[in-house]
Amino acid sequence: MVLVSDTHLSAGHPEGVERFLRFLRGPCAAASRVILLGDLFDFWVSPAQVRDPVLGGVFEGLRTLFAGGIDTCFIEGNRDFAATPELAAAGVRRLPDVDVIESGERRIVVTHGDLLCTRDVRYQALRRVVRRSLMRHVLRALPERAALRLGTGARAGSRRETMNKAYGDMGLVPDAVAALLRAHDADALVCGHVHWGKRFAIDIDGSPRDVVVLSAWEDSGTYVRLDEGRIDFVTFA
Ligand SMILES: [Mn+2]
């Protein structure tokens, strides 16, 4: 199984998309299952984005994976939660925001990661509102240009917020990570969102748990290979 997050694909960076397509043809095509842990796209606000020739290639690549019998799944990210219907049309099925994978003897909890940034109270409140089905319908009904303007504005706003807030308020909250692992009786967590690109252990109730926080692909390409409970954190050039 392959898990990847925060590839941030965009129409303006065809070389990033090409790199992702190579990744699909390589490690993903060799896996039995692929889980996209959110923020696959830099931003997704309009169904019309599928018609972009660069982004269209991503859907073609995913369709090929699906046609090859590979179970391809998606957990919504904060930047691309609106892409679920388009991904579904390419054979990519949505998983719940938090899911558990059983592999070998181990239980691995997977999530995008934004839900673990519990100190960012404003973001969590906003998240609850925009993910409602009514808001999803409103977004889909917007003309493409209006939706794209909204997306660009939201992204710039989110960058400003990130720069203004203390690192501690933006990051994964250790207590939230511990609570999640405990709630799912999990041995490990794999997530993205905060782009740390690192692996570490945390001790919960006397036993160490494995945490992998994937990087953003504009920083460095990372993914997780999961096989019979063994977690490999892979970095590639
Ligand atoms: Mn994110």
Q: What is the pLDDT of residues 134-191, one digit of tens each?
A: 889 988 999 999 998 888 877 777 776 665 554 556 689 999 999 999 999 999 999 9
* Cα 186 to averaged position of ligand 1 atoms, centre (Å): 22
142 to each of 12, 24, 90, 145, 153, how far by Cα in Å? 22, 31, 22, 8, 15
Alpha carbon of 65 to ligand 1 centroid (Å)? 24
- Number of domains the chain contains: 1
Ligand 1 centroid vs 52 CA: distance in angstroms?
A: 22
- Which CATH number covers residue 20? 3.60.21.10
Identity of the residue numbered 229: G
Domain that holds residue 114: 2-236
62-121 pLDDT, tens digit per residue, is: 999 999 999 999 999 999 999 999 999 999 999 999 999 999 999 999 999 999 999 999
Q: 155 CA to middle of ligand 1, Å?
A: 11
Q: Report CA(40)–ligand 1 centroid distance (Å).
A: 9
Residues with CB under 5 A from ligand 1 (ion): 39, 77-78, 193
